[in-house]
Amino acid sequence: MKQTGPILEVKNISKDFGTVRALNNISFVLEEGKILGMVGDNGAGRTTLLNILSGGLQPASGSIYFKGKEVRFRSPADAMKLGISTVHQSFELVEIASVWENFFMGRELTRRIGPVAYLDVAKMKHLTEESVTKYGHKFNIEREIGELSGGQRQIIAVTRAIEANSEILLLDEPISGLSKRVINDVFDILRKAKKEKDTSIIITSQWYEQISDFIDDVIVLRRGEITGQYDEQSADKARIFKLAMGLVTR
């Protein structure tokens, strides 16, 4: 049966680094099949929050609910088992490995010949090429990642995360430093995933204008606190900018 309502609910999440409170009582919901933007200036807590949602960090307090059930992620592997994938700003691709090797790294496919399991290289190569082509791109899958441009690497990272059967995709500054053409390519891939796979997405950006035409809802963060939450109809660019910069308060 199709899930309705929130696929992810965050209640009163806080995180401290020594004496510094990085997040303070963060609460929000991510509706299934929706794209939620998180915007804020440097130090707002965007990356810290995504790291908690992906299992890379543990919160000091608060709860996370996935499809109505409370979950605790001890590692990124725990989040991935539930279908939560993350594309970090650093891409986390291995430069000396090929495109297809990166595509299946950590989830390699095998086939059995008698009692022995072998890597199914042919199948992994075929699925890598098929997946990338499906989203409108063409790569030589034998090329090393280090030979690709930043935009090509981002497209590989995003496509890999989607094709890992993600129900929720977390994207930390995925368009930072990319050209307008590549940004449009990345957004087209994500829109296709939302439409065809009903993928729910959280995307962070320092500036609301960069993602305003892409997202359904937006949360504004300022120094670890939510200072505003808006849907597509009520979002006001000038107001969001002022909230993010601390020029106005709630």
Over residues 55-82, mean pLDDT: 93
Is the CATH code 3.40.50.300 the one for domain 6-96+148-245? yes
pLDDT tens track for 47-61: 999 999 999 999 999
Q: In the prediction, which pLDDT does 4 show? A: 60
- Inform me whether the pLDDT recorded for 91 exceeds 80: no
What is the average pLDDT score of the chain?
90
| C-alpha pair distances (Å), 120 with each of 127, 175, 247 | 11, 33, 56
Written as six digits, the tokens of 70 are 């409370």
Q: For residues 201 and 194, is the Cβ–Cβ distance under 8 A?
A: yes
Domain ranges of the chain: 6-96+148-245
* Structure confidence at residue 1 (pLDDT): 42
For 43, half-sphere exposure in the C-beta direction (CA atoms, 13 angstrom radius) is 5
What would the 3-class secondary structure string for 138-150 be? CCCCCCEHHHCCH
